[in-house]
Every structure is written in C-alpha cells, then in structure tokens.
Amino acid sequence: MKVRQLFLILAMVAAYSCSSPLEKSVLEPLTSKELDKVAGKDISFLATYSIVEEKSNYIHSTQDSSRWRGITYQRLHNYLKTIESAELNSPLFAQLREKWENLYDSYNVQVDTILHKWNDYIIKNTPDSLLALSFEGVEIEKIRNAKKQIDTLVKAKLKFKALSFPVDSLSLTYRFEPYSDTSCLNHITHKKRIRDSVVIKVFPNLVPQLKTALAINDTSLTFAYEIHSLYANGKCYNVDTLKSHLPKSVIQFIDAERSSLESQIFDESYFRERIIRELVDPSFISQSAYIKVNAEDYYKEIDSLVFSYTNLQ
C-alpha cells in the first residue's frame, strides 16, 4: 500500500514538472529556470515577459488584481505575436491608410474652398487693390548751386490712381531697381485725398549712377514700390489689419507658402492639416495617429481582456 501511494505521489510530481510555465497566470512570476526554458524555445518570449514585469508593480498596487488571473503567459504571448505580425498588420494598415486618404481628400476639397475665399479677400483688401502707383518719368531742372556751379535736379513724377473709392492718406516706399540698397530707398507719406488720380513730383534719393540713369531715361531701370498702409472708406488697410481678419491656420499657410519661394521648403500637407483641424474637423488627426488609434480598436476585438492588460498605465 505504501509503495502504491509513493508511486502516485511521484507520478503527480512528474506530471506537474512537465507542465509548461506558459500555462501559469501572468500574476505568478516565473522562476529563472522556467524563463530560460521558455526563452530557449522562443527568444521573443523575453519581450513578452518584460511586459509582465512592467505591469506587475502597477497590478499589485491595486486592490483587485483578480481580473487578470485568467491571462496566461501563453495567451499574452499569442496575442502579442498576432498584433505584431505582418500577416495581420499589412492588410490592416493598407485598409486604414486608404480610409484616411479618402477622408483627407474630402477635407482637402473644403480646404481649397477656404483658401480661395481668403485669397480672394486678401486680393480685394490689400492696399495695392485700392491704389495703383506708376512712374511717369522725370523732370530735369538746371540750377546754380551755392558754389556758383551748374547742378542738375532730378524730380520723379509719380502717379497715384484710386481704384475703388477715394483714398484719404497713405504711406509707402519706392525704389528704382537695380538700385535697391537703403541709400536709394524712398519713403513717402501722402496726406491729401486722392479722388481719382494725381501726379506728384518728388526728389528721390540718388547715387551718381542712378541720377545719370534717370536723367538719360535709362529703360533698364525698374520702378518698384510697396504701400505699407492706406486709409480709405473709413478703414485702415495694411498687412496687420488684414491678417487680423484671417484664421490663424490660413495665415500660417500663406506665410509658409510665400517663404518657400526663397527657401524651397514647404510642407503643404502639414499646413493643410492645421486648416482642417481649425476650420473643418477639430478631431482630425494625422495618418500615423489615425492608423494607430483604429488599429488598436481592431486589436481590442481580438482579445479585449489582454488588450486592457497591455494598455495598463
């Protein structure tokens, strides 16, 4: 009888020793021997076990950890291998990319409409849309200076033309290219009302070469100007007041696009996404974030309990 009992005990011990550590609950830590045994057959298990170790402190600090008892190492390992497999993710990611691109394309149509609207607003409300300035030639006058020498005065004739309604005042700078350094830059503040058009005569800042070129009517010169501010129709028109009416994301898009003419760097999709989030859909996210969020929803359907476990924080 004693021999038979001893045999049964040894059989039970042998059966227990042959059971796989993978069948243990993740609430039970593996011994070094058990970990070596499993990792020796599948080295990727070490990554699985590191997750268990990471979660253990948090789980043991909570009052109820029993909900995780049904998760075995095998169940967790199988889940992780599944959600990390190319067989699952390649078609899943491709499908999610396509969905995001379809959504992005539909929103982009709205962005085009928004940009068209505000570009049209800018065109109709910039100082240049309200007043045109042109160079009408020069007027030469010979005078005798203080040293009793004959000197040549060069007056530039500038024509102001109101385009929409009378202009009450304006400030601007003008120059003659290629003479564009600061010594040849001219500032004008005109405070007389322009009902239709008017020609004024001014003395431009001149270097000897520019003075000669103007005097002989050198056709290679190019007249350029910039209206900084203009007051008309009871309103002040300038860059700052104009931008104050535009949505922030639209201003950022326009400024970046203009800067790219010099730098050649313009991530258009980045600025379009900012417009979408501000003016179309505040919940819109980037493609990578969209794939991550929706893939996680799919992973949750595979095993909701293990999903919750792996996302413990």
What pLDDT score was predicted for residue 2? Answer: 41
Give the pLDDT of residue 207.
87
Look up the domain containing 201 and give its range: 131-236
Q: Do 78 and 138 fall into the same domain?
A: no
Q: 192 near 166, Cβ under 8 Å?
A: no
pLDDT computed for residue 88 by the predictor: 94
Q: Which of 212, 236, 260 is the last residue of a domain?
A: 236
DSSP 8-state code for residue 23: G
**pLDDT tens, N- to C-terminus, the chain (313 residues):** 443 443 343 334 334 444 789 999 999 999 999 999 999 999 999 999 999 998 987 787 665 788 899 999 999 999 999 999 999 999 999 999 999 999 999 999 999 999 999 999 988 888 988 999 999 999 888 877 777 777 778 899 999 999 988 999 999 999 999 987 888 899 999 999 999 999 999 988 888 888 889 988 898 999 999 999 999 988 899 888 888 889 999 999 988 988 876 667 889 999 999 999 999 999 999 999 999 999 999 999 999 999 999 998 7
The CB-side HSE value for 49 (13 A sphere, CA atoms) comes to: 19
Query: In whole angstroms, what is the distance from residue 114 CA to residue 211 CA?
Result: 47
Transcribe 212-262 into DSSP letters: HHHHTT-TT-EEEEEEEEEEETTEEEEHHHHHTTS-HHHHHHHHHHHHHHH
Say what the pLDDT of residue 181 is: 82
Q: Is residue 60 part of a domain?
A: yes
Question: Both 164 and 231 in a single domain?
Answer: yes
211 lies in a domain?
Answer: yes
Taking the whole predicted model, whether its pTM rises above 0.85 is answered as no
140/79 same-domain check? no
* Domain boundary, last residue among 197, 217, 236: 236
Do 143 and 227 lie in one domain? The reply is: yes
Claim to verify: residue 139 and residue 226 sit in the same structural domain: yes
Residue 279 lies in a domain: no
* Beta bridge partners of residue 141, listed in sequence order: 153
Report yes or no on 68 lying in a domain: yes
Q: Are residues 70 and 149 in the same domain?
A: no
Residues 76 and 147 in one domain: no
- The answer as to whether 271 is a domain residue is no
What pLDDT is stored for residue 3 in this prediction? 35
Kindly state whether residues 232 and 151 are assigned to the same domain.
yes
Residues 137 and 232 in one domain: yes
Q: Please report whether residue 98 resides in a domain.
A: no
Q: Is the peptide bond before 204 cis (omega within 30 degrees of 0)?
A: no
- In total, how many domains does the chain have? 2
CA angle (34, 37, 38) in 5-degree steps: 90
Q: Is residue 109 part of a domain?
A: no
What pLDDT is stored for residue 16 in this prediction?
A: 43
CB–CB of 21/73 below 8 Å?
A: yes
Pair (309, 226) in one structural domain: no
In a domain, 172, yes or no: yes
Among residues 191, 207, 236, which one ends one of the domains? 236
Displacement of CA 311 from its chain's centroid (Å): 29
